[in-house]
Amino acid sequence: MSALREFIEQHPRLAVLSGAGVSTSAGIPDYRDERGEWKRARPVEFQPFMTNPGIRQRYWSRSTVGWPFVARAQPSTAHLALAQLETLGFVRLLITQNVDGLHQAAGSRNVIDLHGRLDTVRCMQCGHTLPRAGLQQTLLANNPTWADIEGSIAPDGDVDIENRDYSGFVVPECPHCAGILKPDVVFFGEPVPRERVERAFEAVAGSDALLVVGSSLMVYSGFRFAEAAAAADKPIAAVNLGRTRADDLFALKINAPCDEVLSALLATIGNIRTGAS
Ligand SMILES: [Zn+2]
Predicted pLDDT of residue 243: 85
Residue 254 main-chain phi, psi, to 5 deg = -115, 110
User: Which sequence positions are flagged as catalytic?
Assistant: 115
- Residue 128 CA to ligand 1 centre (angstroms): 5
Would you place residue 259 in the very low, low, confident or very high pLDDT band (cuts 50, 70, 90)? very high
| Least reliable range by pLDDT among 56-60, 74-78, 103-107 | 56-60
With H, G, I as helix, E, B as strand and everything else as coil, classify residue 50.
Answer: helix
- Residue 172 CA to ligand 1 centre (angstroms): 11
Would you place residue 270 in the very low, low, confident or very high pLDDT band (cuts 50, 70, 90)? low
Contacts of 171 (CB under 8 A, 6+ apart): 53, 56, 57, 60, 142, 181
| Burial classification of residue 263, based on how many CB atoms lie within 10 Å of its CB (0-12 exposed, 13-18 middle, 19 or more buried) | middle
Q: Is the dihedral of CA 174, 179, 183, 185 positive or negative?
A: negative
Task: Give the containing element (helix H, strand E) for 117.
Answer: strand 116-123
Mean pLDDT calculated for residue range 214-219: 87
Contacts of 232 (CB under 8 A, 6+ apart): 204, 205
**pTM (whole model) above 0.85:** yes
Q: Residue 175 pLDDT > 70, yes or no?
A: yes
Would you place residue 172 in the very low, low, confident or very high pLDDT band (cuts 50, 70, 90)? very high
Contacts of 29 (CB under 8 A, 6+ apart): 35, 36, 39, 40
- Residue 180 CA to ligand 1 centre (angstroms): 7
The CA distance from 171 to 266, in Å, is: 46
Q: Is the dihedral of CA 69, 243, 223, 83 positive or negative?
A: positive
Q: Residue 234 pLDDT > 60, yes or no?
A: yes
Would you place residue 197 in the very low, low, confident or very high pLDDT band (cuts 50, 70, 90)? very high
- Residue 122 CA to ligand 1 centre (angstroms): 8
Mean pLDDT calculated for residue range 124-133: 97
Mean pLDDT calculated for residue range 153-160: 36
With H, G, I as helix, E, B as strand and everything else as coil, classify residue 173.
Answer: strand
Are the C-beta atoms of residues 118 and 99 closer than 8 Å to each other? yes
Would you place residue 40 in the very low, low, confident or very high pLDDT band (cuts 50, 70, 90)? low
